[in-house]
Amino acid sequence: MRDVAINGERQWARLMDLARLGAIPGDGVNRACLTALDREARRLVIGWATAIGATVTIDAAANLWLRREGSDPTAAPVLTGSHMDSQPAGGRFDGIYGVIAGLEAITALHDAGIVTRRPIEVVGWTNEEGSRFAPGCMGSMAWSGFAPLSTWDEVRDPEGIRFADALAEHLAVEADLPCRTLGSNKPHAYVEAHIEQGPLLEAAGDDIGIVTGIQGSRWFRVTLTGASAHAGTAPVKLRRDAVQDMVRAVAALNVLMDDPDDVLRFTVGRIVVEPNSSNSVAGRVTFSIDCRHPRRDVLLARGDAVAATIRAAVNDCDVAVEEVFHAMPVTFDPLVVEAVAASCAGYRSMRLASGAFHDAQFAAGVAPSGMIFVPSRDGISHNPAEYSSPAQLAAGTRVLARTLLALAS
Amino acid sequence: MRDVAINGERQWARLMDLARLGAIPGDGVNRACLTALDREARRLVIGWATAIGATVTIDAAANLWLRREGSDPTAAPVLTGSHMDSQPAGGRFDGIYGVIAGLEAITALHDAGIVTRRPIEVVGWTNEEGSRFAPGCMGSMAWSGFAPLSTWDEVRDPEGIRFADALAEHLAVEADLPCRTLGSNKPHAYVEAHIEQGPLLEAAGDDIGIVTGIQGSRWFRVTLTGASAHAGTAPVKLRRDAVQDMVRAVAALNVLMDDPDDVLRFTVGRIVVEPNSSNSVAGRVTFSIDCRHPRRDVLLARGDAVAATIRAAVNDCDVAVEEVFHAMPVTFDPLVVEAVAASCAGYRSMRLASGAFHDAQFAAGVAPSGMIFVPSRDGISHNPAEYSSPAQLAAGTRVLARTLLALAS
């Protein structure tokens, strides 16, 4: 196999250009999906893609597609890419690296004059993070047929904007881009480059993670409804205090989710109190539960016990528990996993499962899929301190380019 | 003593006019201090006051003063009034009733052609609730000399607006009103009408509460700083999860604040999580503590133990505890308490202490002070369901008018 001369400096410069869009203190990025900042970032990427002759389309979920034609335009394409949105206090690499790595791979093929048989398409999935509109992975879920796009029409962001309205606004602003039918480009294979977001590669001193699968996730939204009252006059024993019941519920969930092996990931990351005034007893609290495990049976058993655990724990409030997202564990197809493994020549690599979920989890339902991880310093992500070095990112992109070349031949 | 023919229908109509400014579902009101809505409400009140010849001034804290002249303009005035701001999910009577009752009392004196020896001034204190800018009672604290106005310059509202800037904007918009020196009008006495915000009058079937004092309050702001991380990859045992430490802290505070007699009022009413994303471990949580008790020794002992209790309870986060407000218990002066008691002819009354704090707590440091309570249905306030009937409100205003007439003679 010919090697592909990817340009690590160009890739780093492009990542830094994108990191300025939504920059926050401490080298972080806050770039929510379907915002003006998201559109600025997309335009940068589109400019780089059209400069090498790639064709640009979007679909009804606002997924962005950059296609480099193959010698057989009728062949099923090989897909690569990731997402361009970030966490509210996120870093410079989570998601966007996979898009820029895919772009760098096809740019390197272009620069080298290599034409693959299959077309290669680089995708920027809409709303992977799920932090503006929950749940995440809406773009890849809709594309893969996991759920119809209309499923999330009424989901609202923290400002009360409906997902359907934000999407319609985005599509209207990007009306100059040709639209393709959602899900029409069934691929030959999908491979996504991403930062590890965990400590394993760094701890082992490895360059590349050959990802064998993704642990499963279940997300819940819990609403506790009590009664707001005056903090100075309402006797404590007569209150229906939603904050106090939230504390009881989380303490009980900690017991349910306890895992001596520390494999299960249980997180309460979002709490909204109403009226959220220091001298008013809370009348309502909404909080999130994020539960993940590599084993389907564990995920089903613990998740199915969430509602009963909360109802048994609270004293005074009405309880509503809604499951807002679930993705069962995925094992990646050997076609892609072995193509990645065969592309690691010259690098130290390990096989590992992903702790984070990714769009690849949904692509895996449509076509053989896999992922390539690069090390994350201190295992940190979803944080401005997230960091992978230019050399680490270049290594991942070199492996991605080799993998794409193999899969597209 | 001559009686005063107050007009309960006019008073109710004015309260309902004001309730439209910031109306929220369920008959509630959300009218934060120093907003355009606050200014609309003030203009309504100013219009009613000038119609009976009262003079209007404001001071540097934006406290609004409506003065009805006495036969001896050099005599120290009798003050009455309350505040015009509401809780974010507040009702139609908390605060604004005391302003409109004061206005109704001087309007009734005007209608009857009664001239008192002392001037009577009706005040609308700025920011009693403390829910836009914490703490509450800034207007009365600054006026009474309890703290300099500049104390709160850097306090920010949830949108990040500084108190000093909001105040300057307000004063600029109201520049047509004559300004008086803050605290220059040392009064003969202060009496404030207010809804009870508790269940005692209703339970006893009484019309009027003769308020003998106010329990003390201590407010704290607690900040727990951990580290944000990815909910799918960060092992639970390695996290510095600020939500989990908040749950530990509140559970420990519940033990510290436990009171079998149910007299102590302990409330965690405000919680802010950062980044507040369902799939990110919380890097920071800020929460409020509101602790109240009628006894100074209890308030000092429990409040002084807050910081150590939290530090002992948390596992992983840095802890900062700041006391943002304190007001020791107050016993009202017999001059005013007995004037109120003597004005209750024809009504069923009881003596009681206030569970809520009020501007009267700070006025009491400057002049003999007292309060008049009317019943609150089901004891509810700081809630849209807050309710006192037109007849109950008229009874309170009748007692207020008699009290003012006695104190101003």
Mean pLDDT, chain B, as a whole number? Answer: 96
Nearest chain B residue to A253 by CA distance is B244
Give the pLDDT score at A235.
87
Residues of B in contact with A279 (CB under 8 A): 87, 129-131, 136, 219, 267, 269, 290, 382
Instruction: Assign residue B255 the CATH number of its domain.
Output: 3.30.70.360
If one compares B4 and A158, the residue with the highest pLDDT of the two is: A158
Residues of A in contact with B281 (CB under 8 A): 267, 269, 382
Q: Kindly list the distances between the CA atom of residue A191 and the CA atoms of A55, A182, A221, A368, B118, in Å, as whole numbers in the listed order.
A: 20, 19, 31, 9, 85
Q: Kindly list the distances between the CA atom of residue B152 and the CA atoms of A59, B136, B289, in Å, as whole numbers in the listed order.
A: 52, 11, 19
Q: Which of A327, A348, A373 represents a domain boundary (last residue)? A: A327
Tokens of B316: 């992983």
A181–chain B nearest CA distance, Å: 30
Give the pLDDT score at A3.
74
**B277, B289, B356: residue with CB nearest A269:** B277
B378–chain A nearest CA distance, Å: 10
Burial annotation B170-197 (CB, 10 A radius, 16+ → b, else e): bbeebeebeebebbebebbbbbbbbbbb
Q: Which 8-state DSSP code applies to residue A44?
A: H
Interface contact flag, A89 B234, Cβ < 8 Å: no
**B230, B268, B290: residue with CB nearest A381:** B230
Give the pLDDT score at B134.
87
Interface contact flag, A233 B197, Cβ < 8 Å: yes
Give the pLDDT score at A2.
57
Tokens of B276: 């507040």
Interface contact flag, A270 B278, Cβ < 8 Å: yes
Q: Are residues A359 and A259 in the same domain?
A: no
Distance CA B56, CA B68 (A): 9
β-strands A120-125, A318-327 pairing: unpaired
The full DSSP string for B213-280 is EE-EEEEEEEEEE-B-EETTTS-GGG-B-HHHHHHHHHHHHHHHT--TTS-SEEE---EEEES--TTE
Instruction: Assign residue B23 the CATH number of its domain.
Output: 3.40.630.10
Distance CA A289, CA A310 (A): 11
**Disruptive mutation site among B280, B286, B357 for chain A (greatest number of A CBs within 10 Å):** B280
Q: Are residues A153 and A96 in the same domain?
A: yes
Interface contact flag, B277 A88, Cβ < 8 Å: yes
B300–chain A nearest CA distance, Å: 17
Interface contact flag, B233 A356, Cβ < 8 Å: yes
Can you say whether the dihedral through the CA atoms of B253, B134, A230, A233 is positive or negative? positive
Interface contact flag, A234 B265, Cβ < 8 Å: yes
Interface contact flag, B271 A243, Cβ < 8 Å: yes
Distance CA A343, CA B379 (A): 72
Interface contact flag, A380 B229, Cβ < 8 Å: yes
Does the residue A248 lie in any domain? yes
User: Tokens 């506790």, residue?
Assistant: A224
Distance CA A194, CA A188 (A): 20
Residue A155 has pLDDT above 70, yes or no: yes
Element (DSSP H or E) covering residue B271: strand B271-274
Tens digit of pLDDT for each residue in B197-233? 988 899 999 999 999 999 999 999 999 999 998 899 8
Residues of B in contact with A273 (CB under 8 A): 269-271
Q: Are residues A289 and A387 in the same domain?
A: no
Mean pLDDT of B36-61: 98
Band (B2; pLDDT cuts 50, 70, 90): low
Q: Are residues B209 and B107 in the same domain?
A: yes
Mean pLDDT of B321-325: 94
Distance CA B393, CA B18 (A): 15
**A241, A271, A278: residue with CB nearest B130:** A278
Interface contact flag, A232 B197, Cβ < 8 Å: yes
For residue A191, the cross-strand partners are: A80, A370
Interface contact flag, A271 B276, Cβ < 8 Å: yes
For chain A, the straight-line distance linking the first and the last C-alpha, in angstroms and rounded, comes to 10
Mean pLDDT of B291-300: 95
Give the pLDDT score at B274.
96
Count CB neighbours of A358 within 10 A.
28
Interface contact flag, B197 A270, Cβ < 8 Å: no
Q: Is B340 helix (H, G, I), strand (E, B) or coil?
A: helix
Q: Which of A327, A344, A364 represents a domain boundary (last residue)? A: A327
Residues of A in contact with B237 (CB under 8 A): 262
User: Tokens 């992975």, residue?
Assistant: A137
Mean pLDDT of A177-198: 95
Distance CA B202, CA B184 (A): 39
Element (DSSP H or E) covering residue A304: helix A296-304
Interface contact flag, B228 A356, Cβ < 8 Å: no
Interface contact flag, B251 A254, Cβ < 8 Å: no
Distance CA B181, CA B370 (A): 24
**B129, B196, B231: residue with CB nearest A267:** B231
For residue B323, the cross-strand partners are: B220
B386–chain A nearest CA distance, Å: 10
With a CB cutoff of 8 Å and minimum separation 6, the contacts of A353 are A211, A212, A213, A214, A215, A294
**A131, A198, A250: residue with CB nearest B277:** A131
Does the residue A1 lie in any domain? no
Burial annotation A167-204 (CB, 10 A radius, 16+ → b, else e): beebbeebeebeebebbebebbbbbbbbbbbbbbbbee
Give the pLDDT score at B279.
87
**Disruptive mutation site among A29, A93, A228, A239 for chain B (greatest number of B CBs within 10 Å):** A228
Domain, as residue range, for B295:
216-327
Interface contact flag, B357 A232, Cβ < 8 Å: yes
The number of CA neighbours under 13 Å toward the Cβ of A34 is 29
B409–chain A nearest CA distance, Å: 35
Does the residue A394 lie in any domain? yes
Interface contact flag, A269 B276, Cβ < 8 Å: yes
Does the residue A251 lie in any domain? yes
Tens digit of pLDDT for each residue in A343-385? 999 999 999 999 888 999 999 999 999 999 999 999 988 889 9
Residues of B in contact with A381 (CB under 8 A): 229-230, 233
Does the residue B3 lie in any domain? no
Q: Are residues A60 and A166 in the same domain?
A: yes
Does the residue B313 lie in any domain? yes
> Is the bond leading into B275 cis (omega within 30 degrees of zero)?
yes
The full DSSP string for B128-190 is -S-SSSSSS-HHHHHHHTSS-GGGGTT-B-TT--BHHHHHHHHHHHTTTSPB--TT----SEE
Q: Are residues A27 and A158 in the same domain?
A: yes
Does the residue B1 lie in any domain? no
Tens digit of pLDDT for each residue in A105-127? 999 999 999 999 999 999 999 99
Nearest chain B residue to A282 by CA distance is B269
With a CB cutoff of 8 Å and minimum separation 6, the contacts of B384 are B24, B25, B26, B27, B28, B29, B89, B90, B91
**Disruptive mutation site among B33, B222, B267 for chain A (greatest number of A CBs within 10 Å):** B267
Tens digit of pLDDT for each residue in B325-366? 898 999 999 999 999 999 999 999 999 999 888 999 999 999
Q: Are residues A88 and A18 in the same domain?
A: yes
Q: Are residues B149 and B201 in the same domain?
A: yes
Q: Are residues B178 and B90 in the same domain?
A: yes
β-strands B284-293, B271-274 pairing: antiparallel
**A279, A283, A356: residue with CB nearest B136:** A279
Mean pLDDT of A52-76: 97
Residue B147 has pLDDT above 70, yes or no: yes
B291–chain A nearest CA distance, Å: 8
Tens digit of pLDDT for each residue in A13-23? 999 999 999 99
Q: Are residues A374 and A234 in the same domain?
A: no
Distance CA B163, CA B152 (A): 7
Mean pLDDT of A185-203: 94
Residue B132 has pLDDT above 60, yes or no: yes
Reported residue count of chain A is 409
Tens digit of pLDDT for each residue in A246-280? 999 999 999 999 999 999 999 999 999 999 989 89
Tens digit of pLDDT for each residue in B119-130? 999 999 999 999
Give the pLDDT score at B363.
96
B267–chain A nearest CA distance, Å: 6
Picking from B204, B15, B26, the residue whose alpha carbon sits closest to that of residue A227 is: B26
Distance CA B149, CA B141 (A): 8
Residue B264 has pLDDT above 90, yes or no: yes
A344–chain B nearest CA distance, Å: 24
B243–chain A nearest CA distance, Å: 7
Band (A319; pLDDT cuts 50, 70, 90): very high
**A250, A289, A355: residue with CB nearest B233:** A355
Give the pLDDT score at B144.
96
Interface contact flag, A231 B267, Cβ < 8 Å: yes
Give the pLDDT score at A229.
86
Does the residue B54 lie in any domain? yes
Distance CA A273, CA B271 (A): 7
Distance CA B312, CA A262 (A): 25
Tokens of A56: 């640009």
Interface contact flag, A229 B381, Cβ < 8 Å: yes
Q: Are residues B69 and B207 in the same domain?
A: yes
The total of structural domains in chain A comes to 2
Distance CA A373, CA A358 (A): 12
Residue A285 has pLDDT above 70, yes or no: yes
Phi and psi at A354, nearest 5°, equal: -85, 130
A with B: how many residue pairs have Cβ under 8 Å apart? 241
Mean pLDDT of A41-46: 98
Residue type, A219: W
Nearest chain B residue to A247 by CA distance is B247
B123–chain A nearest CA distance, Å: 23
Residue B1 has pLDDT above 80, yes or no: no
Interface contact flag, A267 B241, Cβ < 8 Å: yes
Q: Is the pTM of this model over 0.90?
A: no
Give the pLDDT score at A242.
98
Q: Kindly list the distances between the CA atom of residue A77 and the CA atoms of A69, A71, A196, B232, in Å, as whole numbers in the listed order.
A: 9, 11, 26, 30
Reported residue count of chain B is 409
Interface contact flag, A131 B279, Cβ < 8 Å: yes
If one compares B232 and A224, the residue with the highest pLDDT of the two is: A224
Nearest chain A residue to B356 by CA distance is A232
**Disruptive mutation site among A219, A278, A357 for chain B (greatest number of B CBs within 10 Å):** A278
Q: Are residues B210 and B220 in the same domain?
A: no
Interface contact flag, B233 A271, Cβ < 8 Å: no
User: Tokens 């001193």, residue?
Assistant: A205
Interface contact flag, A290 B379, Cβ < 8 Å: no
Q: Which of B327, B361, B392 represents a domain boundary (last residue)? A: B327
Residues of B in contact with A236 (CB under 8 A): 259, 262, 264-266
Give the pLDDT score at A230.
87
Residue type, B45: V
